[in-house]
Structure 1
Amino acid sequence: MSDIPSELKYASSHEWARLEDDGSVVVGISDHAQELLGDVVYVELPEMDAEVAAGDEVAVVESVKAASDIYAPVSGTIIEINDNLEDAPETVNTDSYGDGWMFRIQPSNDGDINELLDADAYAESIADE
C-alpha cells in the first residue's frame, strides 16, 4: 500500500501538491507513482519563471522502466526547482514527499488547489491500478 499523506492534495496524474504558508505550491510525484516507475535515473525539471497552466506537461521523470511526463497541478509561475535532483534523481524514490519534491509554483488562481483530490479520493482512484 502506497503512502498517501492526508495534508497534501493530489492530481489524478499522480502529482502531489502542498500549499505553503507563503501561498506557493510545492509539487512532486506520489509514492504510488514512484513505485510504478521503478528506479528513477533522471529528472528533467521545468524552466524557472515559466508560466504554466494546470494540466500542462512541465517535467519528465525517467526510470529504468520508462519515461513519464509530470504535469502542473495548478496554473501559475515556476518559482523554484529542486536542483538536487540533477545529481540525485533517486531521491524521488527514497523520499518522494520530502527531499524528492520537484518544483514550486506561485499560483495564478488560488482556487486551483481546491480542484485537486484529497488523500481519500486519491487512494480510491489508485485502488484499481
Structure 2
Amino acid sequence: MPADRYYTKTHEWALLLGGRRIRVGITKHAVEELGDITYVEIKPIGTRIKAGEPIGTIESNKATEKIYAPVSGVIVERNKEAGVVEEGSGEFGAGELEKIADDPYESGWIAEIEADNPEELKNLLKAEEYEKMLKG
C-alpha cells in the first residue's frame, strides 16, 4: 500500500498531485471486497462536494457501493481510460474497468478534485494507520 497517500475509513485513497489537485481512488482492500467491477459512475465534472459526501457509485458482481469524497472541493476530472462515466450522461464506460481492480493505486484512479483546502488531507489516515484499521 503506497505510503504517499492518505486513506479513509470507507476505503478511498487520496493523493496530492500538486497545488490543490487531489487524485482519488479505492483501495486494494475495497477491490478485493467488491469482486468483479462492472460499472463506475461519478457526479458530473464541476460538481461541488464536501468531504465525506458520496461522489459516485461503484458496481460489482457482489455489491453496489458509494465512493466518498476524502476532501471538499470541485470534481475536475474522471478517469475515462478506466471506464469511469459521469452520472446522467447516458454513456456506458468505454474504458478498461480492469485497471481499477488490477492497479487501484495508479492507472485505476477514479476522479480528481480541486480541493478547497488540501490541509483536510491531514484528517485522513496515513498508510500505517489504515493498515492497522484493517487488521482491527
Shorter-chain TM-score: which interval? over 0.9
Alignment-mate amino acid for residue 82 of structure 1: N
Aligned to 1:70: 67
Aligned to 2:99: 91
Moved segments of 4+, more than 4 Å: none
Alignment-mate amino acid for residue 58 of structure 1: I
- Aligned-pair RMSD on alpha carbons? 1.0
Q: Distance in 2 between matches of 1:89 and 1:7?
A: 24
Task: List aligned pairs for 1:104-123, cutoff 5 A.
Answer: 104-123=112-131
Aligned to 2:76: 79
- Secondary structure at the counterpart of residue 20 of structure 1: strand
Deviation at 1:5, TM superposition (A): 0.9
Q: Percent identity among equivalent residues? A: 37
Deviation at 1:89, TM superposition (A): 1.7
Q: State whether residues 10 and 68 of structure 2, in contact with CA within 8 Å, keep that contact through their aligned partners in structure 1.
A: yes
Aligned to 2:135: 127
Aligned to 1:43: 40
Query: Please, which runs of 5 or more residues in structure 2 have no aligned partner?
Result: 84-92
Aligned to 2:20: 23
Alignment-mate amino acid for residue 121 of structure 1: E
Q: State whether residues 53 and 76 of structure 1, in contact with CA within 8 Å, keep that contact through their aligned partners in structure 2.
A: yes
Q: Distance in 1 between matches of 2:75 and 2:21?
A: 10
Query: Please, which runs of 5 or more residues in structure 1 have no aligned partner?
Result: none
Q: Distance in 2 between matches of 1:127 and 1:19?
A: 26
TM-score, normalising length: structure 1: 0.93
TM-score, normalising length: structure 2: 0.88
Aligned to 1:11: 8
Q: Distance in 2 between matches of 1:94 and 1:110?
A: 28
